[in-house]
Amino acid sequence: MTDTHHAPAGPGTETSAPDPVEPAAAEAFLSHPGSLRHAPGPYFGTYGGRWMPESLIAALDELESTFEAAKADPTFIAEVRELNSSYAGRPSLLTEATRFAAHAGGVRVFLKREDLNHTGSHKINNVLGQALLAKRMGKTRIVAETGAGQHGVASATAAALLGLECVVYMGAEDCRRQALNVARMQLLGAEVVAVTNGSQTLKDAINDALRDWVANVGTTHYLLGTAAGAHPFPAMVRFFHEVIGEEAREQILELTGKLPDAVCACVGGGSNAIGIFHGFLDDPAVRLYGFEAGGDGVASGRHAAPITLGRAGVLHGARSYLMQDEDGQTMESHSISAGLDYPGVGPEHAYLADIGRVTYEPITDAEAMEGFRLLCRTEGIIPAIESAHALAGALKVGQRMAAAGDTVADKVIIVNLSGRGDKDVATAAEYFDLLPDGGAEKDIAQEGEQL
């Protein structure tokens, strides 16, 4: 392995500081003649690959060749485009948020409205594409993992639309907290399996989905929900989300006549972020910011910020940054946002962090909830708590631009508003203490129900 930047640390370095991203790295990129767009995998620098059981390699090969052929097939591209426009509701709007922007140092802020897509988030882009691929491979069944239920609902939606059997693996703890999302998936015809293994959360749901896939690979496609996992998943999931960045780039040019100064997105596995970043990767003047879930603060250990932590490892098929203890055991992540509550991150993000093209920073639960509150009050938009991390980050970026003495009125930030917050109302109501004592809503919210 040629990774000198992030060689695996020895035991006893658990609390060591993350490796710094050298400022020079960003400059090195800016003079880089090659393109960062359309990175094909399997490797992104030293990240990515296929750290997978041999039993699944044939299925990954089949998926890769089907995907490559489909990408080059105008019929497939037309099918995706048609579903995106007539079913998912694309293109999504780019909305200027002037009252919100007043809190961001006075820069102009535009919201990429993935929250307006069918099923309420960017997730639909990927599930429609992969479900179409499943059909091209002759598979009749899809399995998916879900944390809060967003990807599970999106997968169940795509399966219903395209006539596929759908099984969703969900941690037993998450099933209990998200009973209404379980019902949504069931209404859409999916079977929801409560996972009682391990820590009973998202990573264990992925483990069980993989176990199902190994045993049923002849009939089944694993519809992974984020730009992580073994090749070709990271490049493929990004491909289906690239539409976000393409639309945003076109829209901002039309609205402002120039490229934005910064693009902000939240990063869990990283699918919405890589989707919007991709449109701007080769525009060196556009600063890209990925905001990880800082939970109670990275120093507290209770967070979901593997890039900030800065330790590489392999999990679920890819080498990337990973929250792990000194034995290489995966650590439990913590975030108020279920969709960011994952101990790993997509490998392309790890690479973009190392070369300095994207800046990754943690946003705490408290900062995210302040961003959440602010958008509700200033724009009449209730964001997903995941997306609120990007909003909170944008506030910081804008304020920094102002502090640096930039002419803020000329500065433009795009925030990927990856999902809507209907599912998060109970969590937010509890957080802001809006529920009457002794009411049923209080009980539900304390258990974390996200409607």
Q: Work out how close the CB of 170 gets to other proteins at its nearest, in angstroms, rounded to a whole number.
A: 17
Q: Which residues are catalytic?
A: 123, 145, 418
Write down the residue that tokens 């902000």 correspond to.
264
Distance CA 328, CA 337 (A): 25
Residues 6+ apart with CB under 8 A from 257: none
- Nearest one of 431, 308, 414, 421 to 369, comparing CA atoms: 431
Q: Which helix (H) or strand (E) holds 143?
A: strand 141-146
DSSP state of 90: P
Choices 63-71, 90-98, 216-224, 362-370; region in contact with other proteins by CB under 8 A: 216-224
Residue 394: alpha-carbon gap to chain centroid: 17
Q: Work out how close the CB of 357 gets to other proteins at its nearest, in angstroms, rounded to a whole number.
A: 25
Q: Which amino acid is at 137?
A: M
Q: Work out how close the CB of 59 gets to other proteins at its nearest, in angstroms, rounded to a whole number.
A: 7
Q: Work out how close the CB of 210 gets to other proteins at its nearest, in angstroms, rounded to a whole number.
A: 5
Verify binding: residue 314, other proteins, rule CB under 8 A: yes
Verify binding: residue 327, other proteins, rule CB under 8 A: yes
The only residue of 326, 410, 422, 443 in contact with other proteins, by rule CB under 8 A? 326
The only residue of 315, 382, 385, 445 in contact with other proteins, by rule CB under 8 A? 315
- Under the phi-then-psi rule, with left for phi > 0, alpha for psi from -120 to 50, and beta for the rest, what region is 109? beta
Coil, strand or helix at 443:
helix
Verify binding: residue 4, other proteins, rule CB under 8 A: no
**155-214: contacts with other proteins (CB under 8 A):** 197-199, 203-204, 207, 210-211, 214
Verify binding: residue 217, other proteins, rule CB under 8 A: yes
Beta carbon nearer to other proteins, 2 or 31: 2
Verify binding: residue 334, other proteins, rule CB under 8 A: no
**What SS3 string covers 338-403?**
HHHCCCECCHHHHHHHHCCCEEEEEEEHHHHHHHHHHHHHHHCCCECHHHHHHHHHHHHHHHHHHH
Q: Work out how close the CB of 308 gets to other proteins at its nearest, in angstroms, rounded to a whole number.
A: 18
Verify binding: residue 396, other proteins, rule CB under 8 A: no
**51-70: contacts with other proteins (CB under 8 A):** 51-59, 61
Beta carbon nearer to other proteins, 120 or 343: 343
Verify binding: residue 215, other proteins, rule CB under 8 A: yes
Q: Is 23 exposed, middle or buried (0-12, 13-18, 19+ CB in 10 A)?
A: exposed
Please say whether the beta carbons of 315 and 346 come within 8 A.
no
DSSP state of 110: E
Q: Work out how close the CB of 330 gets to other proteins at its nearest, in angstroms, rounded to a whole number.
A: 4
The only residue of 6, 50, 90, 221 in contact with other proteins, by rule CB under 8 A? 50
Q: Which residues bind other proteins (CB under 8 A)?
A: 1, 8, 10-11, 49-59, 61, 197-199, 203-204, 207, 210-211, 214-218, 313-316, 322, 324, 326-330
